[in-house]
Every structure is written in C-alpha cells, then in structure tokens.
C-alpha cells in the first residue's frame, strides 16, 4: 500500500471531507498587527504616566496581601492613620467611643457619671470645639483635655 492510498483510507475512515482541512497561511500578518497593538498600548501608557508626573499626581501602588487578618489590619491602618482633622466623622465617633469605654474601665466610673461625660464630649464634638490629642501611628486617641475638668469636679 502506498502513502497516498493510506492517507485516503484514513480520511475516509475518520469521515473528514477534504474541504474541512485548511492550511494556515499568512499567520505573520496577525502577529504584525498584534505587535503593532502592543506598541500602541505601551506608548499610550508611557504618555499617560508622563502626563501624571507633569501634573504631580501619584498612582497608588497595590499591596500584596496573604490573609484576611492582614487585609483587616491594613484597611484599619488606611482608615485611621491620618491626622484627627482629616478623619471622617464616623471614624472620629468610633475612636471617641473606644477611648471613652477604655476611660470608664480605667477610672471605674458609675453609669450616671459616664453618661454626663459622654454627653459633654459629644456636645463639644458636634459644636466642633473638642480638642483631641491623636496619635496617627497608633491609630488611637492619646488624651482628651476635656476630661481633666471632670476629674477635678469629681
């Protein structure tokens, strides 16, 4: 049996029609278009980066995180590691609440005394007269000078 006959028998056995067999030609044309597209994208990204630098904008780098605990601590630090004046109102209220709870445990105050202190702190906060010493590295309130007035009266 010759090669041509063997090829014909295999094609008949597999049920392949000769028109189904296509020869891939001119594949370099597609590669050239792909290379051209890649070059355009690289040049576009380069121009965008140069424009950002001209305007003084910085691109925030992404952070590789391994576990959910690391994600939680990173998000916490991103939210609270700002100056007190730059924190949003909800974050300030959370920090005040946490500080006042710790203060109540340390000072062993009664419920009525603590409610009056909280009321005074929140009123000052709403009127934007509250002075706070905040440590942005520790992400916590260090001192509330308003509490010294309550210490002297009690």
Distance separating alpha carbons of residues 41 and 32, to the nearest angstrom: 14
**pLDDT one-digit tens code per residue, 1-59:** 577 777 777 777 666 655 555 555 555 557 778 888 888 899 998 998 888 888 887 76
Please check whether residue 65 lies inside any domain of the structure.
no
Within this chain, do residues 45 and 101 fall inside the same structural domain, yes or no?
no
**pLDDT one-digit tens code per residue, 141-152:** 999 998 888 765
- Looking at residue 145, the DSSP 8-state letter turns out to be T
Within this chain, do residues 45 and 87 fall inside the same structural domain, yes or no?
no
Residue 145: is it exposed, middle or buried by C-beta count within 10 angstroms (0-12/13-18/19+)?
exposed
Give the domain range for residue 104: 82-153
Q: State residue 24's pLDDT score.
A: 53
Q: What is the mean pLDDT of residues 114-137?
A: 91
**Higher pLDDT residue, 7 or 71?**
71
């Amino acid at each position: 049996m010759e090669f041509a006959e063997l090829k014909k028998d295999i094609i008949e056995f597999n049920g392949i029609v000769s028109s189904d067999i296509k020869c891939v030609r001119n594949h370099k044309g597609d590669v050239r278009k792909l290379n051209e597209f890649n070059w355009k994208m690289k040049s576009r990204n380069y121009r965008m980066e140069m424009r950002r630098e001209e305007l003084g904008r910085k691109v925030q780098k992404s952070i590789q995180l391994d576990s959910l605990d690391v994600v939680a601590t990173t998000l916490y630090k991103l939210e609270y590691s700002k100056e007190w004046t730059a924190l949003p109102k909800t974050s300030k209220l959370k920090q005040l609440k946490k500080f006042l709870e710790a203060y109540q445990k340390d000072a062993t105050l009664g419920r009525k005394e603590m409610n009056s202190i909280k009321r005074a702190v929140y009123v000052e906060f709403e009127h934007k007269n509250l002075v706070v010493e905040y440590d942005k590295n520790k992400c916590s309130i260090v001192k509330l000078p308003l509490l010294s007035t309550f210490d002297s009266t009690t």
